[in-house]
Amino acid sequence: MTDLGDGAKDPRPGGGNAPTGLPRDWVASALRRERTRAGLSLSELAKRAGIAKSTLSQLEAATGNPGIETLWALAVALGVPFSVLVESPGPAVTVIRAGEGPTMRAEQASYAGTLLSAGPSGVRRDIYHGAMEPGSVRASEPHIPGSVEHLIVSTGRLLAGPDGERVELDPGDYMSYRGDVPHAYEALVPGTTFVLVMQHV
């Protein structure tokens, strides 16, 4: 499996030899498509997302290495779920082995999120597998209005939820909360993993 920078990996066997279909290409294509659909210029989208125009230009050219914060900001600015910017076409039956799949890493926290399933048209739900280590907090800006997060801890212990309402969760614990307000995740013990379902209405 090929590391494409910033933790993104091509999940396909021999993926490093393929000229297309890499996560950077998925992101670039999706950004161009959604920006065009929204009728926004490079400058306007960059301004709305709070990033440099040169950064956006590199992402659309598939030469940049976006962190998860950058992509979330762009998704919010475009008014689309995060998964729209990183999902890839999939077969009728999909199996993603542990440690595979398109993985994005946070720039300011020990957090890695792997997109397991993007909601098809009309369903608007995305499923992620998250992995964190203690020592940093993954602070998340509000997602698009109406977002709800459903979280189930698999291993370790996690402190998560909206600002001012964070809860400690043990393996098997479930919680849901609004995703359109500031929220955060923090691993309390090594090897913390969880499943996160993003619901968009």
Half-sphere exposure of 199 (CA within 13 A, CB side): 9
Count, in order, helices (H) and strands (E) of the chain: 5, 12
Other C-beta atoms closer than 10 Å to the C-beta of 165 total 12
Check whether 40 has a pLDDT greater than 90. yes
Other C-beta atoms closer than 10 Å to the C-beta of 99 total 12
In terms of pTM, does the model score above 0.75? Answer: no
- Which residue blocks in the chain are alpha helix, DSSP H? 23-38, 42-49, 53-60, 68-78, 83-86
Q: According to the per-residue pLDDT averaged within each range, which of 86-95, 152-161, 192-201 is highest?
A: 152-161
Contact 103, 114 (CB under 8 A): yes
Please give the pLDDT value at position 45: 95
Check whether 194 has a pLDDT greater than 50. yes
d(CA 103, CA 115): 7
Please give the pLDDT value at position 122: 66
Q: How far apart are the first and last CA of the chain?
A: 35
Question: Pairing mode, if any, of strands 125-132 and 192-199?
Answer: antiparallel
pLDDT in tens, 67-100: 888 998 999 999 988 888 887 655 545 556 666 7
When comparing pLDDT for 89 and 186, which is higher? Answer: 186
